[in-house]
Amino acid sequence: MPYTKLAIGLLAAGAVGLVGFRSTTDRGAAAVEYIDFGQVQTATQPAYVAAVSPPSAARVKEFRIPITHETIEIADGFTYEGWTFGGTVPGPVIRVREGDLVKIHLVNESSMPHSIDFHSARIPWNEAYHSINPGEDLRFEFTARDPGVYLVHCGTPPVTMHIMQGMYLAIIVDPKDGWGTEVDKEFVLVQSEFYVQPGQEQGTLVPDFQAAMSKSARYVVFNGRAFQYKAHPLQVEQGDRVRLFVVAAGPTFRSDFHIVGAIFDRVYPDGNPDNVLETVQTYTVPAGGGAVFETTFEAGASGVGLYPFVTHAFADAERGAVGLIQVSQPQMVTAGGR
Ligand SMILES: [Cu+2]
């Protein structure tokens, strides 16, 4: 379908975490949005931008997703040859609305076969999720029928290897009638783990598949890098209501998601607001699953201060799956050893 580029421009990195070009037509229900993730890349420095903006009004959304192999930083000072969707680990957040037609154009720009598997789609595996060779591309589409937050990953065997190399991203399908609450800030957190050993050069890491098969992760991370939000907290203001889209990419671990010093007033397992749980301390996101968490940072109840978010499986938190939410400007900024 042809589309007219009515709006092309640089997007503010802080607004949606993407820098580059995208185009959107604006013809009401027939509008088409096109994003080329080869051109629009998620910022990962100083930290992967976790903040997300609402989806566009376009009812047809098309995404070009290049597969590339890239040098990534998975812990401070440690680089790794990752396999990526869109050049980063995790790949870019895809956000659509329930009922949207989602068109995918997967392009394998790497040197080996890969694939893509959308948990948000009802589609035959053999049509959409098969591997494509270097230089090949694949087009498929699906209607986003089911609201929630979902894992997208490479499914090429051995899947453990392709996921531990970084081939995953989150897709949010906003409910057609909204989430039922108004929030001030939204963030995406994708938990995953890396199985690595030292490379030949100082500061480099290489895959350790045996460690992966014995579930001995070296790092467990949110959004691709150990401890990045401890150094660069997610910033909210006192009084804010916050929605967190949490996905556990694995390849093997789940996330026992918890915020120290806060209670979730709502959790939507799988991200469907029909699945509401109220007043939750910790909720487990299974490997290959997602959930939406909501809480409010109010004066006298999770007010100004620092709030670590963790997987409460603490051996995993010690390996990097801990970050901070900073509410307004605390007088003493200290992580308190967590
Ligand atoms: Cu792959």
**pLDDT single digits (tens) 320-330:** 999 999 999 99
Q: How far is the CA of 83 from the centre of ligand 1 (A)?
A: 7
pLDDT band at 292 (very low <50, low <70, confident <90, very high): very high
pLDDT band at 331 (very low <50, low <70, confident <90, very high): confident
Q: How far is the CA of 88 from the centre of ligand 1 (A)?
A: 14
Out of 2.60.40.420, 3.40.50.300, 3.40.50.1370, 3.40.50.10420, which CATH number does the structure's domain 7-174 have?
2.60.40.420
CA-CA distances (angstroms) from residue 312 to 149, 170, 230, 254, 307? 21, 21, 16, 10, 14
Strand, coil or helix: what is 202? coil
With a CB cutoff of 8 Å and minimum separation 6, the contacts of 91 are: 37, 42, 65, 84, 85, 152, 167, 168, 169
Q: How far is the CA of 187 from the centre of ligand 1 (A)?
A: 26
Residue type (1 letter), 154: C
Mean pLDDT of 60-87: 97
Please, what is the average pLDDT of the chain? 91
Q: How far is the CA of 200 from the centre of ligand 1 (A)?
A: 24
Q: How far is the CA of 225 from the centre of ligand 1 (A)?
A: 19
Type and span of the H or E element at 19: strand 18-19
User: How many other CB atoms are found less than 10 A from the CB of residue 49?
Assistant: 22
Choose the weakest-confidence range: 4-18, 103-117, 211-225: 4-18
Q: How far is the CA of 257 from the centre of ligand 1 (A)?
A: 27
Residue 113: pLDDT above 90?
Answer: yes
Mean pLDDT of 158-168: 98
Residues 77-88 as b/e (b if ≥16 CB within 10 A, e otherwise) read ebbbebbbbbbb
Residue 30: pLDDT above 70?
Answer: no
Residue type (1 letter), 184: D
CA-CA distances (angstroms) from residue 136 to 31, 108, 119, 198? 28, 6, 23, 33
Looking at domain 185-327, its CATH architecture is Sandwich (2.60)
Share of residues in the chain with pLDDT > 70 (%): 89
Per this entry, what is the length of the chain?
338
Retrieve residue 134's tokens.
């270097």
Q: How far is the CA of 126 from the centre of ligand 1 (A)?
A: 16
Choose the weakest-confidence range: 12-16, 67-71, 128-132, 280-284: 12-16
Residues of the chain with CATH 2.60.40.420: 7-174, 185-327
Q: Which residues crowd ion ligand 1, with CB under 5 Å?
A: 114, 154, 156, 162, 167
**pLDDT single digits (tens) 246-273:** 999 999 999 999 999 999 999 999 999 9
Q: How far is the CA of 120 from the centre of ligand 1 (A)?
A: 18
Residues 293, 243 contacting (CB under 8 angstroms): yes
Mean pLDDT of 226-245: 97
Q: How far is the CA of 242 from the centre of ligand 1 (A)?
A: 33
Mean pLDDT of 290-298: 98
